[in-house]
Structure 1
Amino acid sequence: MTATAFDFYLPSELNASHPPERRGIRRDHVRLMVLNKNTGSVSHDKFFRLADYLKPGDLVVMNNSRTVPAILKAGLYRNTKRIQQEVEIRLARRLNEETWDALVVTEEARLGDILQFSSDLSAVVIDMKEGSPLKTILFSQKGTDLFNSIYAIGEPVRYEYIHNKWGLDYYQTVFASHPGSVEMPSAGRAFSWELLFTLQRKGIELDFIQLHTGLSYLLDDELETSPDDNYEEYHLSEKTIEKIRKTKASGGRVIAVGTTVVRALESAGITGALNGITNLYINQNFKLKMVDGIITGLHEPKASHLDMLTAFVPQNLLWNAYQEAIGERYLWHEFGDMNLIV
């Protein structure tokens, strides 16, 4: 399915290239645009005052997936002969405890080739995935040992608007605990522990799920994948589902922190499965069952995430809000400002 998200002009200076902390502000002091999904009215504030726009009895659901440093370097070997000195590998999606789909950035890789990352870690190419630039690689380690090795040698995924090699800590939410995301679930980045406690003191419920994000860009515009080709692993608890039921029954709202949480919750609502793989594509024709509002960053032109937002608010109202955000000089992307749609 082809994404139908709208296009618009985003001035390059509105791409946030520095984390807020490196711009001299706390992570929870980024700006907040509040969009009323029924009227289209827009107000502007700072994110640390989020509680002012939520009500006692609301439920905020966050993604506690932890970002892994998904860019690795390896020597490429075939039949013990070194084919390339150094190849970049971008992890794309975990298949199991020792197997990942990955973007191997060379045209030389063949089935059965060995990727030597370090003296302790290697991988073999076990599937070339016809019709896809991704390859399936089987690591020599698995589970916690594999993650420990990846964290020791990898770097976080960065895109062209990021001009500095910021460390992995800048790509984590404060509550991240379950390793698996190739890219940061960035809607949760602006939360601080202080803000989370403030929400709880106001009577706002908090809960966590996991959806491990995949690689969104394959280094070639012609290889852009369709949203429903994007398979991601999610995990929910029965406790979360019960909290959602109680919240809705008492008239509260379920607020998803990020498109990842929307995808996970709505997938569970459709299938009834608390754990699984989802390729759910949400747009204006999708009737949301689980989620009432969303906290998210500002999304780039033509991004499929914009399609998802039209399930919350009509596209014309979203368009008007984005034009206002540009006029107000909001900052985009994972280190940028935030948007609450309720």
Structure 2
Amino acid sequence: MAVVKALDFYLPDELNASHPPEKRGIRRDHVRMMVLDRSSGAVRHDHFFHLDHYLEPGDMLILNNSRTIPAVLQAEWVSNTGLLTPKVEVRLARRKRDNTWEALIAAVPVNIGDKLIFPPDLSATVVSEKENSPLKVIQFSRKGADLFNRIYALGEPVRYEYIQHPWDLDYYQTVFASHPGSVEMPSAGRAFSWELLFKLKQRGIGVDFIQLHTGLSYLLDDNWHQSPEENEEEYHISEQTMEQILQTKAAGKKVIAAGTTVVRAIETAAKNGVLSGMTNLYIHQDSPLKIADGILTGFHEPLASHLDMLSAFISQQNLLHAYNQAIEAGYLWHEFGDMNLII
């Protein structure tokens, strides 16, 4: 089946949010919000803390409580010939097992058997190469919580070229993040405050959580492009949460996914009947959505595959029209930017 490519448009540089809202003098839940009607394409302009105005009692909001890890590490590289390079950058891409990760190592050529030393007390060995990819598979000397503790002590968060300042890891966390594993922040949940979550629950709107640990989206070389099918991500949905989702659907109420990660997880579970595992589900304009009735998301850059997913909720024509309005109105893009509710 032919799939229409993601939307292309011109995004002015000044709309790339380089500072967290808090550093711009506003609360995280006071960013702007553009609301799109799925059927008509009608656009409304509001602020995120008014989210409860667009949901009804009995509706359910699903959030991703994966916690962002500081996935950029500095290592000493010891080749299998004994040559020492004192400093190379290692970007964790996705976890394979308790002590094994796919990683992007900014050194060429890194070979199987080479060692990476992360002073003072962590090391890893390159154990295999990923086919048709610059990623390597590395096995750490520690595992589980012990390994995560060392990563948190040594690493820095992934940041891209539109963010010039090395903001602390706390700025890359949602207030409810609890399960470490995301290489990049599940950013659709960033704007939530506990006050807003309590307000939603007081209005009878259900709030529940899943986990999907995001992988590394950019491999530092435009010659390497990961398709959504190549970007496998680990997810987990509890039986209790899925039961609540199904009861909400059966009652004729809406299930709203906070982020493309949540859509990917719940639609994978609906399609495969598996509540935990790995997903490479690619959602596009021809994909039937079995659970998600709406999506809360940020604004995505031109040609991003996330725009393909949004096309499953709203026509590409209406989406492009709305994005052009957002650009004219000065909405801010990316993880520190404004929000978009499609419902």
Superposition TM-score, scaled by structure 1 size: 0.98
Matching residue of 1:267: 268
Matching residue of 1:88: 89
Q: Secondary structure at the match of 1:223?
A: coil
Identical residues among aligned pairs (%): 64
Q: Deviation of residue 78 (structure 1)?
A: 2.8
Matched, 1:294 2:295: yes
Matching residue of 1:149: 150
- Give the alignment of 1:91-170 within 5 angstroms: 91-170=92-171
Matching residue of 1:215: 216
Measured against aligned partners, the alpha-carbon deviations of 1:174-209 in whole angstroms (never above 9, x if no partner) come to 000000000000000000000000000110000000
Q: Secondary structure at the match of 1:158?
A: coil
Q: Residue 207 of structure 1 aligns to which amino acid in structure 2?
A: D
Superposition TM-score, scaled by structure 2 size: 0.98
Q: Deviation of residue 109 (structure 1)?
A: 1.2
Q: Deviation of residue 79 (structure 1)?
A: 4.6
- Contact between 2:3 and 2:284, CA under 8 Å: does it hold in 1? no
- Contact between 2:265 and 2:279, CA under 8 Å: does it hold in 1? yes
Q: Which aligned runs of 4 or more in structure 1 are off by greater than 3 angstroms? A: none
Matching residue of 1:314: 315
Matching residue of 1:245: 246
Matching residue of 1:225: 226
Inter-CA distance 303–223: structure 2 relative to 1 (3 Å threshold): same
Question: d(CA) in 2 for partners of 1:130 and 1:177?
Answer: 33
CA RMSD in angstroms comes to 1.1
- Contact between 2:80 and 2:111, CA under 8 Å: does it hold in 1? no
Q: Residue 326 of structure 1 aligns to which amino acid in structure 2?
A: I
Q: Deviation of residue 3 (structure 1)?
A: 7.2
Question: d(CA) in 2 for partners of 1:80 and 1:222?
Answer: 29
- Contact between 1:75 and 1:82, CA under 8 Å: does it hold in 2? no
Measured against aligned partners, the alpha-carbon deviations of 1:145-202 in whole angstroms (never above 9, x if no partner) come to 0000000000000000001000000000000000000000000000000000000011
Question: d(CA) in 1 for partners of 2:9 and 2:335?
Answer: 19
Question: d(CA) in 1 for partners of 2:51 and 2:218?
Answer: 31
Question: d(CA) in 2 for partners of 1:146 and 1:224?
Answer: 29
- Contact between 1:71 and 1:88, CA under 8 Å: does it hold in 2? yes
Question: d(CA) in 2 for partners of 1:103 and 1:288?
Answer: 33
Inter-CA distance 213–284: structure 2 relative to 1 (3 Å threshold): same
- Report the count of equivalent residues: 342
Question: d(CA) in 2 for partners of 1:149 and 1:133?
Answer: 25
- Contact between 1:92 and 1:100, CA under 8 Å: does it hold in 2? yes
- Contact between 1:3 and 1:304, CA under 8 Å: does it hold in 2? no
Measured against aligned partners, the alpha-carbon deviations of 1:219-260 in whole angstroms (never above 9, x if no partner) come to 011101111111000000111111111111111100000000
Inter-CA distance 79–305: structure 2 relative to 1 (3 Å threshold): closer
Question: d(CA) in 2 for partners of 1:145 and 1:58?
Answer: 39
Q: Which moved more, 1:14-23 or 1:77-86?
A: 77-86
Matching residue of 1:48: 49
Matched, 1:178 2:163: no
